[in-house]
Amino acid sequence: FQLASSSTKFPELDQLRTKEERFLSQQQQTKNNNNNDTIGRNLAIVRNEISIVESQITRTLIASMIRAASHVRRAMDILAKLDVVFAKASFGCDWDGVIPNEIGNEEGRVQVQKFVHPILALGKKDVVNNDDAAVSTVVPVDLILPGKNDDGGSYQTLMISGPNGGGKTLALKSFGLVAMMVKLG
């Protein structure tokens, strides 16, 4: 690993690298072995000095990074939260979603209308290739539970009936998914 040199940030390192280049140039131009040995020793000394300066700079930069770690961690947490918000918004826009106020109220009334299971709809989108037509090929599910009955009591049973393959299980899974999505925001 080698630090990038910039005269404004690491002037000492720049000076040493300039010296190194000068010795390399002299070494290539010199044919005399005695002179070449001296240049080689000087080159080794300069390279050692470069290594020492790079180590000092690296330690300084790492110490700065450690001091800033808590701020970086906090920024990453904020970015992760923003990413979740934007992912939810993007998902909602792609699927013509709505922001629910609540799935049920204090009276026990539950009303979910025109819910389309996203995984099922995604599978249909892959087949149809037309985003608008894809959503319409999946039958939306409605669930309206009145909560309290006329006597002041509450309904405690939900019965779903229909033929095999009629969507009973999908409807129940969809209602569970709606409840989870509402809780997640």
Is the pTM higher than 0.75? The answer reads: no
pLDDT of residue 5: 53
- The DSSP H or E segment spanning 112 is strand 110-115
135 pLDDT above the threshold of 50:
no
- Pick left, alpha or beta for residue 154 (phi over 0 → left; psi -120 to 50 → alpha; otherwise beta): beta
What is the per-residue DSSP string for 19-79?
Answer: HHHHHHHHHHH---HHHHHHHHHHHHHHHHHHHHHHHHHHHHHHHHHHHHHHHHHHHHHHH
Integer angstrom CA distances of residue 84 from 32, 87, 173: 68, 5, 24
Rounded Cα gap, residues 126 and 120, in angstroms: 10
pLDDT of residue 148: 73
More confident residue, 136 or 105: 105
Percent of the chain with pLDDT over 70: 79
Mean pLDDT along residues 139-160: 75
Rounded Cα gap, residues 138 and 120, in angstroms: 7
Write the single-letter amino acid at 129.
N
Residue 33 — pLDDT band, cuts 50, 70, 90? low
Mean pLDDT along residues 90-114: 73
127 pLDDT above the threshold of 80:
no
Give me the chain's average pLDDT, please.
Answer: 79
127 exposure class (CB count in 10 Å sphere: 0-12, 13-18, 19+)? exposed
- Condensed to tens digits (0 to 9), the pLDDT of residues 3-24 reads 555 556 788 888 888 898 888 8
pLDDT of residue 59: 92
pLDDT of residue 83: 97
Distance of CA 84 to the CA centre of its chain: 8
Task: Of 9-18, 75-84, 174-183, give the lowest mean pLDDT range.
Answer: 174-183
pLDDT of residue 126: 47
pLDDT of residue 34: 67
